[in-house]
Structure 1
Amino acid sequence: MSDKIQDLKNKLIRLTSLDKSFEVFGSESHQYRLNPCLSEAEVSQLEAKYKVTLPTEFCNFLLNVGNGGVGPGYGLIGIDSVELSKMEILGLDFLSLPFCLNEEWNDLDLLQTSNGDAPNAYYDPKLVQGSLLVAEYGCGIEARLVITGEQAGKIWIDDRVGEGGIYPLTCHCAAFFHDDPDIEDNLYESVEEVKEALTFYEWYDNWLNRSISQVVQLM
């Protein structure tokens, strides 16, 4: 087990012991429980079925920490059979196709584009192909782990339900999502930031650090 994964486990233990009254956003949903880890055989079978290689940090988490449960938003989804079933409707190659974005995207003109009874082009699933849903922040906002393409291993936000588009989850975004989900968006609009998306480990570690800090301040 890597030092990074052990560090996450240590912080999880600390946060769980501190937040007995579930003060952290989403904690009442997961209640600091972890789902059982996957075996190496299970990971290999999944990768073979979907013709992908899972990002190393995510794979190490699945093998050594848990397959979802406690985590950002309403909890880490991990490898979820329900989500995989939804994805398979789009085709078994959905995960293996390259994630097509390298910078934030929000083409609201596509909301006016429709094809008969088909959904508006703005909501085309192809825009998030090559990514896996790993958490939900509420109000339809999804955190997705990119599996393929140049952004592989990074966390992106899909906020098309709120017409916020698709964009990398940066340190700046994490401050918004992990500190106070109810804070006004316009407080962050004018802040310059690096547009680099956080890796899976950086994302999860950011949530742990901010959650621990929040609980300690309340004590």
Structure 2
Amino acid sequence: MTGHDWSDVRQTLDRLAAAPEADEVFGAGEHGWELEPPLTPAELAELEGQFRVELPAEYRSFLLQAGRGGAGPAYGLFPPRRVDGRWAWEGDGADMTSPDSLVRPFPHTEAFNQADELPEHPDEDDFASAQEYDAAEETWWERHDAIMYNEAHFAGLLYLCHKGCALRDALVVTGPARGTMWADGTAEESGLRPLLADDGTPLGFAGWYRRWLDRATERVAGAGRL
């Protein structure tokens, strides 16, 4: 995937922020329509060196042209920041992205639900005592967490926003689906799935961000007609 021209984004965000109906857009109260300053080329090189990856082109161009984070889908785009000489993305769930996770390839190219591998939950009626049931349930939950949160399923994912209720969107940085955006519904046991455009093709970062920007614009315009 190639880079992208983001020269219009700040003007669009300023226009949305000035609209009386701006708070009609979900999450706007968190990010306030503000983008943090872009990264410098030197900062981006340092970040990529620390994480040992080259970020997909559309996201790289956003970081360099538009901003490092802030206004964006749901509660906003997680920004990368340098703290004590180390880079990290900041936000609810951003700590799921680490140098060890990004360098390993994301294994999936199609929607995948870890919950399909879960054993059947124990039935209390099948046990002679409450203690036996409690022990079986504890074992089941240990198995549940081992399956649902197996780190192998999340390798290569750069978490970029929080949608509420521990649901998040992520960019695939490493692996065969590199450059595409995925929804992580692990918290509601709906698994991992690629985000698709209206024509069914996978969304990259630019398509994902601009779809939000277009929908926010439509939402503000629609609210103004009420």
Cα distance, 1:36 vs. partner? 2.1
1:204 and 2:212 aligned: no
CA deviation map 1:75-120 (0-9, x unaligned): 01132534665544xxx33101111110000132433397995733
Q: Which residue matches 1:134?
A: 160
Residue in structure 1 matched with residue 132 of structure 2 by the alignment: none
Q: Which residue is 2:192 aligned to?
A: 166
**Amino-acid identity (%):** 32
Alpha-carbon distance in structure 2 between the residues aligned to 1:104 and 1:86: 20
* Cα distance in 1, alignment partners of residues 197 and 45 from structure 2: 32
Match of 1:175 in 2: none
Q: Which residue of 1 aligns with 2:103?
A: 96
Report 1:137-152 matches (<5 A).
Answer: 137-152=163-178
Is 2:45 the partner of 1:40? no
Alpha-carbon distance in 2 for matches of 1:9, 1:21: 15
Q: Distance in 2 between matches of 1:137 and 1:86?
A: 15
Match of 1:155 in 2: 181
Which has the larger displacement, 108-117 or 51-60?
108-117
Partners of 1:8 and 1:205 within 8 A in 2:
no
Partner of 2:72: 71
RMSD: 2.4
1:127 is displaced (CA, Å) by 0.6
2:127 is aligned to none
Q: What letter is aligned with 1:56?
A: A
Show the counterpart of 1:62: 63
**Alignment-mate amino acid for residue 6 of structure 2:** I
Q: Which residue of 2 aligns with 1:110?
A: 117
1:23: how far off? 1.2
* Cα distance change on mapping 1:202 and 1:47 into 2, 3 Å: same
C-alpha separation in 2, matches of 1:73 and 1:11: 17
For residue 214 of structure 1, what is the aligned residue in structure 2? 219
- Residue identity matched to 1:36: P
Bigger share in strand: 2
Distance 1:37 1:117 in 2: 43
Cα distance in 1 for partners of 2:141, 2:214 equals 48
Which 5+ residue runs of structure 1 have no aligned equivalent? 173-192
Contact 2:78 2:94 in 1 (8 A): no
Aligned counterparts of 1:169 and 1:70: Cα–Cα separation in 2: 19
Tell me which residue corresponds to 1:188: none
